[in-house]
């Protein structure tokens, strides 16, 4: 493959002319060889291996740039620019739901399912060490080609592994009530750069509700709430409600690593994924929208309470109509690692675009006890002030 | 106060310290996660909403701990358990009012 041809579609070479019995045999051999080379190249391309034009080693996407780089000889190759409009394209939810994802483009990727956490992760058949990046467990099983929906957009990695390590150290240092030496002692084996599938949903909502507005009257023992029945309608739109398409990246991690700068999405190209793993989505379009609706309904509840007004609110019934539902299927970059501290393993992730880190963390029991003692003393001072002693004269 | 009263005071004060000490560690942990969540979680999300419940737990714990302290202070200073209970009952009414106001908000 020549420089500049990276990612370009390649065609099967035309069958050469036949020249007599000998010539024909040679031509056929040549043809078979060329065809095999082409097939190998296509295979490498579909499994996202891009050979360096200089040395033949694998090129990998260089985070923070628009280039691919050869780790062996340093040769750089530009990722071809593709129209960015596709990245921001909103797809009609009902159109694709009706087709049950059959209308979405699919691709095959060599993947393996983790028995421990259930993640479906990309692995090359030649890789000997198969450790699940999500749960750190050894994976036993065969790599097989799995079909998955081609994402329309990808948020490329901006951080290199060292920057992710720095983000982790900084995050650990800033934890309250954490052991003093955690930032120095926490040992992360290796960071895995993974593209995690996300769904983003837009919708317009129109909600009818019935409820009651509460007003407090009286004082002391006679204090009570007087309720007045109310009904009304609230409307509003949601833009880019993000749902993880992965069962391994929980809602907690997804929310903590936010914001995801969706304006910087690039149209999906396999070159962005070179050198990184991609997780196959396990949460489908419909299931993802159901999760988005849980969040939307919580926000709609706030809208209704605000609409009811008064001192207290009661919601008896709601009926929400969703319309103009659209979605995007994207890949976002996450550095995932596990660190060991005091013989326990903690999971930590870093947003591969913004360097925001989040993870599980240990607490120092002694610090918590000291903090609780201080809280008890503080409560004691307040207890003294509200007791009868200062007022006894 | 008789010796028996002092023993009773010591036992109930120890129970109070143990109960509120143990729950205090848990409350401080959730308060820490709530504070970190408040600064870390950008934008609204269900996770952030559940994390912020840690503030409410801390407030409930602090109000109850202060009320319990006031009872023990009244008891030991005035050496009158009945008076301490009467004052506690009045205070608990105020506490219930405060907590119901907080739950409204």
The string of pLDDT tens digits covering residues B56-98 is 889 989 999 999 999 999 998 888 889 999 999 988 888 887 7
A259 vs B24, B43, B104: nearest CB? B43
Nearest CA in chain B to A177: B32
Distance from the Cα of A46 to chain B's closest Cα (Å) equals 37
Question: Would A85 be classed as within a structural domain?
Answer: yes
pLDDT in tens, A109-161: 777 777 777 777 777 666 656 677 777 776 666 667 766 678 889 999 999 98
Distance CA A302, CA A296 (A): 10
- The secondary element (H helix, E strand) that includes residue B66 is helix B53-78
Question: Would A260 be classed as within a structural domain?
Answer: yes
- Measured between beta carbons, the chain B residues lying within 8 angstroms of A376 are 17, 20-21, 24, 65
3-state secondary structure A27-96: HHHHHHHHHHHHHHHHHHHHCCCEECCCCCCEEEECCCCCEEEECCCCCEEECCCCCHHHHHCCEEHHHH
Q: What rounded mean pLDDT belongs to chain A?
A: 80
- Say yes or no for a CB contact (<8 Å) between B87 and A387: yes
- Measured between beta carbons, the chain B residues lying within 8 angstroms of A382 are 62, 66, 69
Distance from the Cα of A73 to chain B's closest Cα (Å) equals 41
Question: Would A385 be classed as within a structural domain?
Answer: no
pTM: 0.76
pLDDT in tens, A196-229: 999 999 999 999 999 999 988 877 667 788 999 9
Distance from the Cα of B78 to chain A's closest Cα (Å) equals 8
Question: Would A294 be classed as within a structural domain?
Answer: yes
Question: Would A383 be classed as within a structural domain?
Answer: no
Question: Would A390 be classed as within a structural domain?
Answer: no
- Say yes or no for a CB contact (<8 Å) between B46 and A256: no
Q: Specify the residue for token string 């504070």.
A: B35
Distance from the Cα of A155 to chain B's closest Cα (Å) equals 19
- Measured between beta carbons, the chain B residues lying within 8 angstroms of A372 are 21, 24-25, 27-28
- Give SS3 for A124: coil
Supply A232's token pair: 């009304």
Question: Would A387 be classed as within a structural domain?
Answer: no
**Is residue A16 reached through a cis peptide bond, with omega within 30 degrees of 0 on the bond before it?**
no
Nearest CA in chain B to A312: B104
Question: Would A378 be classed as within a structural domain?
Answer: no
pLDDT at A177: 92
Domain of A109? 5-372
> Is pLDDT above 80 for B37?
yes
What does the longest C-alpha to C-alpha distance in chain B come to?
Answer: 60
**Number of folded domains that form chain A:** 1
């Amino acid at each position: 493959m020549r420089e500049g041809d990276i990612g370009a579609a390649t065609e099967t070479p035309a069958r050469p002319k036949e020249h007599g019995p000998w010539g024909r045999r040679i031509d056929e051999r040549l043809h078979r060889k060329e065809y095999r080379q082409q097939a190998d190249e296509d295979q490498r391309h579909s499994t996202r291996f891009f050979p360096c034009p200089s040395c033949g080693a694998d090129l990998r996407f260089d985070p923070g740039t628009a280039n691919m780089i050869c780790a062996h000889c340093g040769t750089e190759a530009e990722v071809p620019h593709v129209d960015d409009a596709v990245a921001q394209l909103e797809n009609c939810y009902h159109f694709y739901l009706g087709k049950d994802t059959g209308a979405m483009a699919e691709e095959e990727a060599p993947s393996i399912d983790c028995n421990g956490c259930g993640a479906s992760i990309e692995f090359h058949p030649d890789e000997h060490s198969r450790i699940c990046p999500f749960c750190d467990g050894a994976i036993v099983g065969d790599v097989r080609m799995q079909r998955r929906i081609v994402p329309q957009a990808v948020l490329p990695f901006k951080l290199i592994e060292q920057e992710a390590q720095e983000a982790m150290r900084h995050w650990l240092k800033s934890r309250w009530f954490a052991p003093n030496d955690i930032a120095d002692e926490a040992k992360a084996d290796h960071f895995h750069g993974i593209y995690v599938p996300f769904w983003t949903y837009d919708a317009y909502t129109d909600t009818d509700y019935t409820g009651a507005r509460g007003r407090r009257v009286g004082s002391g023992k006679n204090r009570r709430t007087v309720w007045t029945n109310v009904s009304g309608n609230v409307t509003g739109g949601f833009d880019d409600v993000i749902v993880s398409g992965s069962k391994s990246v929980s809602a907690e991690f997804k929310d903590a690593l936010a914001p995801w700068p969706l304006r910087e999405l690039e149209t999906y190209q396999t070159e962005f994924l070179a050198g990184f793993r991609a997780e196959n989505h396990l949460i489908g379009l419909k299931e993802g929208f159901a999760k988005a609706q849980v969040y939307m309904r919580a926000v709609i509840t706030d809208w209704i309470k605000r609409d009811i007004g008064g001192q207290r609110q009661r919601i008896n019934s709601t009926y929400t109509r969703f319309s103009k539902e659209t979605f995007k299927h994207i890949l976002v970059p996450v550095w995932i690692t596990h660190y060991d501290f005091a013989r326990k393993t903690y999971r930590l992730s870093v947003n591969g675009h913004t360097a925001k880190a989040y993870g599980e963390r240990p607490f120092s029991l002694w610090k918590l006890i000291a903090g609780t003692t201080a809280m008890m003393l503080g409560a004691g001072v307040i207890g003294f002030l509200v007791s009868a002693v200062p007022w006894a004269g | 106060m008789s010796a028996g009263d002092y023993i009773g005071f010591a036992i109930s004060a120890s129970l109070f310290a143990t109960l509120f000490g143990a729950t205090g560690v848990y409350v401080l942990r959730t308060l820490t996660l709530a504070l970190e969540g408040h600064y870390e979680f950008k934008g609204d999300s269900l996770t952030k909403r559940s994390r912020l419940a840690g503030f409410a737990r801390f407030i409930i714990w602090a109000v109850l701990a202060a009320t319990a302290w006031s009872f023990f202070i009244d008891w030991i200073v005035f050496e009158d358990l009945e008076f301490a209970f009467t004052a506690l009952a009045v205070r608990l009414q105020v506490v219930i009012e405060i907590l119901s106001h907080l739950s409204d908000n």
